[in-house]
Amino acid sequence: TIDELVAVGDKVWARQRGGGTNLGSFAGHPPTGIKAFTDVIDVCRFEGGKMVEHWGVPDQLGMMLQLGHIKMGAPVRA
């Protein structure tokens, strides 16, 4: 789902959310069967009506936490 789409000059950026059920291996981990979601920011640059560059930033930490592949540690006290 695209939550936000902005075009400025030769660039377009999108904030989106997608998800699914983890049925295959992911990042070296076996399938979990867990339904998980991730947020992604994509920026595209256009030239002559064609996309010539793309940068994508997925929330991989959030995905790994949802799938149980990593655990958050206890807060560190100063």
CA distance 9 to 30: 43
In percent, the amount of the chain with pLDDT more than 90 equals 85
- Residue 78 reports pLDDT greater than 80: no
Beta strands in 1-78 (DSSP E): 2-8, 11-21, 35-47, 50-58
Tallying the residues shown for the chain, one arrives at 78
Architecture of the CATH domain 2-67: Roll (3.10)
Tokens 């992911």, located at residue: 26
- pTM, rounded to two decimals: 0.73
Evaluate if residue 74 carries a pLDDT over 80. Answer: no
pLDDT digits (tens, 9 = 90+) for 48-66: 999 999 999 999 999 999 9
Domain residue extents for the chain? 2-67
52 alpha-carbon distance from chain centroid: 21
Residue 15 has pLDDT above 90, yes or no: yes
The residue-averaged pLDDT of 30-39 equals 95
Amino acid at 38: T
CA dist 15 and 72 (Å) reads 25
